C-alpha cells in the first residue's frame, strides 16, 4: 500500500487533517486501532471555538453542526454566592458552540467515507519506521493480515497514549509536564438544562461546572481527588453536591438518570518540537491542557489546520518552509492556550492545602473580572479562541 500522507488516529485531529488534505487534492490513509463504533461513541469535550466552527462550516462539515449545535453568547461565573455573566458576543463579537466531540467525529467519518477516503479501523500492533528518511513506513495488522503502508509523511494524531511520540528517539523531545492535585468527577445525565449557558462555579468545597450536550442532556462536573473511585459517589450525593457548589445556579437542576459517570485526571503537558523528520505530532499526541478552558479539541483543530496548509504548500510548489516552521507556529498557540487553561484552573479550583489566603486572592480576581471590562474581555478573547497564526 502507498499514500502521500499516513495519519495515525481517527479522532478529530486525524479525521479533519484527512478531510483538509482531500480538499487540497492530497491522498491520505487514516489508521485507527479502535472500531468505528468506539470512535463515534466516545464522549469527550463539547465546546467549539468560533474559529473551529468556521473551519468546519467553510470546509463542508458544518450542516448538522449548524442545525443542532447550541450557540452560546457567554458564560456565567459563580462565586461568593452570586453570579456574573461574561458576555462574549458583546465583548468580542464572537461566540462558542456546544456540540459534542463525538458528533464532530461522526460528521468527519461520514464525509471521508462518502468521498472515498480510507479509514482503516481495527488496525492493531501499529508501528512507524524510517520517518527520519524520505520514505517513511507504517506496519500494522488488520483482519489477521500484516500490512505495510508507505508514505511521504506521517501525522501522529493518536493521542497522549499513542505510539507516535514514544517512537521518536530519546532525547529528541523536551517534555514539560505537571500532574494536578485534583480531578473532575463527570456525569452525563438525562436532565434538561437549567441555564442557557455554561456555569463555572468557585466554591470552598471545590469547583463545579454545569454544561450541556443537547436540550435534553446535561454534562456536569465536580472537583474531586485524582484517581477517585466513581463508585464512592452515588447519584444522590452527586446531585446534592452539585446543588451546593452551583448555589442559586444549582437550585434549578432537575435530577434525571445518570447515563455515564467517570473521573478525569488533570494534566498539563507539552512536547517540543512537535516534529521529527517526516513525523508530525498533532493534538493530544503533542499537548494536553486541563479541561477548564475547553481547549483540547480546539487546539487539535488549530494544529491540523497549520499542518494541512504546510503539506499543501509542499505538494503545490515543493517548498518545505511551512513544514519546517510547523512546530514554531503551533507552539506559539499551544503555550498561549496552556497559559489560559492554567489561569482558569488556578482561578476556579479549591486549594485547601494553601490556606485561606489563596481563596481570598481567587475571590479578588473574580471580583476584578466582574467589575472590569478589560479583565472580562481578556477572558472572553481567550475563551472564544485566539486568531489563527498564518
Q: Which three cell numbers stand for residue 377?
A: 474581555
Catalytic residue (one of 200, 210, 276, 326): 200
Separation of alpha carbons 330 and 302, rounded Å: 8
DSSP string, 268-291: EEEEE-SEETTEEE-GGGTEE--G
> How crowded is residue 103: how many other Cβ atoms within 10 Å of its Cβ?
17
Among 72, 102, 203, 349, the active-site one is 72
Spell out where 113-230 has E strands. Answer: 118-120, 124-129, 137-142, 145-150, 153-156, 174-190, 199-201, 208-212, 217-224
DSSP one-letter string for 197-245:
S-EEE--TT--EEEEESSSSEEEEEEEE-TT--GGGS-HHHHHHHHHHH
Stated length of the chain: 390
**How many helices (H) and strands (E) are present in the chain, helices listed first?**
13, 20
* Alpha carbon distance 266, 233 (integer Å): 19
89 is catalytic: no
Long-range pairs, 129-132, Cβ under 8 A, ≥24: 131/167, 131/276, 131/277, 131/278, 131/279, 132/276, 132/277, 132/278
Catalytic pick from 19, 202, 295, 349?
295
The question of whether 200 is a catalytic residue gets the answer yes
Backbone dihedral region of 47: left (phi > 0), alpha (psi from -120 to 50 degrees) or beta? beta
Q: Calculate the CA dihedral of residues 153, 154, 155, 161 and round it to 10 degrees.
A: -160
The residue to which cell 436532565 is assigned: 191
Is-catalytic flag, 291?
Answer: yes
Choosing from 12, 136, 290, 291, which is the catalytic residue? 291
* Annotation marks residue 287 as catalytic: no
Residues 6+ away with beta carbon under 8 Å from 300 = 11, 12, 13, 16, 157, 282, 283, 284
123 vs 33, 105, 142, 261, 292, CA distance in Å? Answer: 4, 18, 5, 28, 33
State yes or no: is 240 an active-site residue: no
What distance in Å separates the CA atoms of residue 204 and residue 336, rounded to the nearest whole number? 28
Catalytic (active-site) positions: 72, 200, 291, 295, 383
Amino acid at each position: 500500500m502507498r499514500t502521500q500522507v499516513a495519519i495515525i488516529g481517527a479522532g478529530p485531529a486525524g479525521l479533519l487533517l484527512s478531510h483538509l488534505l482531500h480538499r487540497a487534492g492530497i491522498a491520505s490513509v487514516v489508521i485507527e486501532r479502535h472500531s468505528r463504533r468506539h470512535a463515534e461513541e466516545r464522549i469527550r469535550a463539547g465546546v467549539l471555538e468560533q474559529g473551529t466552527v468556521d473551519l468546519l462550516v467553510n470546509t463542508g462539515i458544518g450542516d448538522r453542526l449548524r442545525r443542532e449545535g447550541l450557540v452560546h453568547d457567554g458564560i456565567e461565573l459563580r462565586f461568593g454566592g452570586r453570579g456574573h455573566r461574561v458576555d462574549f458576543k458583546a465583548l468580542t463579537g464572537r461566540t462558542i458552540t456546544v456540540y459534542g466531540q463525538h458528533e464532530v467525529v461522526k460528521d468527519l467519518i461520514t464525509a471521508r467515507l462518502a468521498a472515498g477516503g480510507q479509514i482503516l479501523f481495527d488496525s492493531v500492533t501499529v508501528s512507524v519506521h524510517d520517518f527520519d528518511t524520505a520514505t517513511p513506513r507504517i506496519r500494522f495488522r488488520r483482519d489477521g493480515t500484516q500490512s505495510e503502508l508507505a508514505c511521504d509523511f506521517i501525522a501522529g494524531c493518536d493521542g497522549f497514549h499513542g505510539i507516535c511520540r514514544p517512537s521518536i528517539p530519546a532525547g529528541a523531545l523536551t517534555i514539560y509536564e505537571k500532574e494536578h492535585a485534583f480531578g473532575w468527577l463527570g456525569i452525563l445525565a438525562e436532565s434538561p438544562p437549567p441555564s442557557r449557558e455554561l456555569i463555572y462555579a468557585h466554591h470552598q468545597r471545590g469547583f463545579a461546572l454545569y454544561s450541556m450536550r443537547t436540550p435534553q442532556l446535561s454534562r456536569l462536573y465536580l472537583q474531586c481527588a485524582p484517581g477517585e473511585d466513581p463508585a464512592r459517589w452515588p447519584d444522590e450525593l452527586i446531585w446534592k453536591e452539585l446543588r451546593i457548589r452551583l448555589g442559586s445556579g444549582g437550585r434549578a437542576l432537575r435530577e434525571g438518570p445518570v447515563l455515564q459517570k467517570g473521573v478525569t485526571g488533570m494534566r498539563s503537558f507539552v512536547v517540543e518540537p512537535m516534529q521529527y523528520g517526516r513525523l508530525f505530532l498533532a493534538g493530544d499526541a503533542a499537548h494536553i491542557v486541563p479541561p477548564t478552558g475547553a481547549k483540547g479539541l480546539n487546539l487539535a483543530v488549530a494544529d491540523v489546520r497549520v499542518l494541512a496548509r504546510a503539506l499543501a504548500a509542499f505538494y503545490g510548489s515543493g517548498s518545505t518552509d511551512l513544514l519546517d516552521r510547523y512546530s514554531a507556529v503551533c507552539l506559539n498557540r499551544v503555550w498561549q492556550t496552556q497559559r489560559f487553561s492554567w489561569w482558569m484552573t488556578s482561578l476556579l479550583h479549591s486549594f485547601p492545602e494553601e490556606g485561606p489566603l489563596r481563596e481570598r486572592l481567587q475571590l479578588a480576581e473574580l471580583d476584578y473580572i466582574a467589575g472590569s471590562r478589560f479583565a472580562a474581555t481578556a477572558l472572553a478573547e481567550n475563551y472564544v479562541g485566539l486568531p489563527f497564526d498564518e
